[in-house]
Amino acid sequence: MQVVYYAKYFVWFEVGRIELFRHLGLEYRRWEERGLRIPVVEAKATYHASAKFDDEILVRTRIAKVGNTSLRFENEVYRLPKMTLLCDGYTVHVLVNSRGKPVQFPRAIAKKLSLS
């Protein structure tokens, strides 16, 4: 079997972020309705082993840092069932308004992010 294309790990990082936000009650869709976006401004991945097609994986995502306008997620991707670390990495995001200008996190959102 062939190995998974390296950029796929960033898709898995994104899925982890979306699920973490959903768990915190912070769905992306609601942010967009308020004219807010959180684009990726930095991304890094370190590859430890290859995922192969049809591997069962687990993605762990946590919020590592909350700034006034920025947010850093850290991710780990494992192959199950042995919990083999395949990749770890992070993404940094900046909260921007509909004009693409950085803005501070609203208090209610900042509080939920800080408690995670």
Residue 2 within any structural domain of the chain? no
CATH code at position 90: 3.10.129.10
Q: Are 69 and 106 in contact (CB under 8 A)?
A: no
In sequence order, the 6+-apart residues with CB closer than 8 A to the CB of 68 are 104, 105
Predicted confidence at residue 116, as pLDDT, reads 67
Q: What is the pTM of this model?
A: 0.92
Q: How far apart are CA 103 and CA 116, in angstroms?
A: 21
The tokens of 52 are what?
């192969």
Residue 104 within any structural domain of the chain? yes
The alpha carbon of residue 91 and the mean position of all alpha carbons in its chain are separated, in whole angstroms, by 6
Domain containing 48 equals 8-115
Q: Are 42 and 91 in contact (CB under 8 A)?
A: yes
Note the pLDDT tens digit of each residue in 25-62.
998 888 899 999 999 999 999 999 999 999 999 999 99
